[in-house]
Amino acid sequence: MAVTDSDVHAAILAVFRIESSRLIAGLSRFTRDVGLAEELAQDALVIALERWPASGIPDNPGAWLMATAKRRAIDELRRRQSWRSKQDALGYESDARAELAVPDLEALLDDDVGDDLLKLLFVACHPILSTEARVALTLRLLGGLTTEEIARAFLVSEGTIAQRIVRAKRTLAESRIPFEVPRASERTERLSSVLEVVYLIFNEGYSATAGADWMRPALCEDALRLGRILAELTPLEPEVHGLVAIMEIQASRSKARTGPSGEPILLLEQNRAAWDQLLIGRGLAALARAEALGGADGRYALQAAIAACHARARAADETDWARIAELYDRLAARWPSPIVELNRAVAVSMAEGPLAGLRILDALLDEPSLQSYHLLPGVRGDLLQKLGRAAEARAEFERAATLTQNARERAFLLGRAAACDAQVRSG
């Protein structure tokens, strides 16, 4: 079968998606401007789209793209250097962006770029940006997603995502954020921001907050790739390995989490034979590494340890719920939050009975941050149903259905409400 131009273009775009984060990271190192770096990388892609259909894709396409982008960078920086010299001759103050000129461009371009991806992660996830902006910029610069893909993944308009990205780049440029790994005094806070963004991306893929699909696997894959890169670049950070561990283990269940029509399948009802043992193995290894580095009580390591309890149980009734409840106690003590307490209620209900879990849930009913959170009435409905209080359970499931924005989850909750209604009528 003959290879068409569209096939070549698709191959080029696939290569660029793989290489783009490395290109942008390397270019950002010496331009000190992630916006300019992305423009230069895009220029290299345009040139590839023009030349490769005729010349063929190079044996090392990544190196070709980097070399092309480097030449464009040198031209651009020399142009700015020349412009700055003219401004100085005329007595003008030089533009802040014109100060990018360096004495030996060729030498700088050939420097080791081993930690450039790590620096780019820290810049894209800088706390000066809003969480939404950090997510969009990270997916764009390091995930290789287009604006359209990010918008589709988070169910917002393409214009909204484009604005977030443009504003984020402008904020970084105007704030003169250095392209570097933060010093020790800042590293903990900045690393926490990076991990938060990666985990947020994963969770949106794992349990979509809105839309027609229960899961968005591509987002899980992007987050996992970012987490694995981060683990390679920061091998002595236990929380990074804890985050990778929980993502690997949770991702292992992906194929078992939905039915033939895309309907949700709850954890205890999943076919565990469909769980990916390779991902479980990777996750358990990452967890062991986090614990060996002294991070057993880290926020992500504790969650990974909980996920590991499920992964190690060959059947649902073999789950060590007492151990899970104890892990949630530790998580709540060190990293308290209403969401942790909600999950602790589920674990306690499984270990000690639904009434014990309901007591914990009822203490959360007036929590302001949970008033519009569908899982609070959803979990409460489940416990009430187990206690035989079907009418109360039905009301909770119906309320949860009104709060969720995910169509699959809404249908699932309404189905549970209908089952309670049938139970009330028959009783």
Q: How far apart are CA 356 and CA 352, in angstroms?
A: 6
Query: In sequence order, which ranges of 32-157 are alpha helices (DSSP H)?
Result: 34-55, 61-90, 105-109, 116-124, 131-141, 147-154
Nearest to 365 by CA among 354, 350, 380, 353: 380
Q: Which residues fall within 8 angstroms of residue 69, CB to CB, at 6 or more apart? A: 23, 26, 27, 40, 41, 43, 44
Q: How many helices (H) and strands (E) does the chain have?
A: 19, 2
CA angle 111, 179, 188 (to 5 degrees): 120
CA angle 214, 418, 344 (to 5 degrees): 55
In this predicted structure, what is the pLDDT of residue 101?
A: 42
In this predicted structure, what is the pLDDT of residue 30?
A: 73
In this predicted structure, what is the pLDDT of residue 100?
A: 43
pLDDT tens, position by position, 34-55: 888 888 888 988 998 888 888 8
In this predicted structure, what is the pLDDT of residue 79?
A: 78
pLDDT tens, position by position, 146-176: 888 888 777 688 999 999 999 999 999 899 8
What angle, 0 to 180 degrees and rounded to 10, lies between the N-to-C axes of helices 407-426 and 375-386? 30
Lowest mean pLDDT among 80-84, 133-137, 146-150, 376-380: 80-84
Nearest to 126 by CA among 193, 202, 184: 193
Structure token pair of residue 380: 């409460």
In this predicted structure, what is the pLDDT of residue 58?
A: 85
- CATH tag, 5-90: 1.10.1740
Do 385 and 398 meet the contact criterion of CB atoms below 8 Å apart? Answer: no
Do 119 and 29 meet the contact criterion of CB atoms below 8 Å apart? Answer: yes
Q: Is the pLDDT of residue 235 over 80?
A: yes
Mean per-residue pLDDT for 52-74?
85
Q: How far apart are CA 184 and CA 237, in angstroms?
A: 13
SS3 label, residue 225: helix
pLDDT above 70 as % of the chain: 89
Q: How far apart are CA 389 and CA 386, in angstroms?
A: 7
Output 123 or 117, whichever has higher pLDDT: 123
Mean per-residue pLDDT for 396-425?
92
The overall average pLDDT reported for the chain is 86
CA angle 415, 417, 419 (to 5 degrees): 70
To which H or E segment does residue 406 belong?
strand 405-406
Spell out the domain ranges in the chain.
5-90
Q: How far apart are CA 82 and CA 381, in angstroms?
A: 69
Do 102 and 84 meet the contact criterion of CB atoms below 8 Å apart? Answer: no
Residues across the chain: 427
Mean per-residue pLDDT for 364-391?
94
Query: In sequence order, which ranges of 313-353 are alpha helices (DSSP H)?
Result: 321-334, 338-352
Structure token pair of residue 402: 């009104």
Q: Is the pLDDT of residue 59 over 50?
A: yes
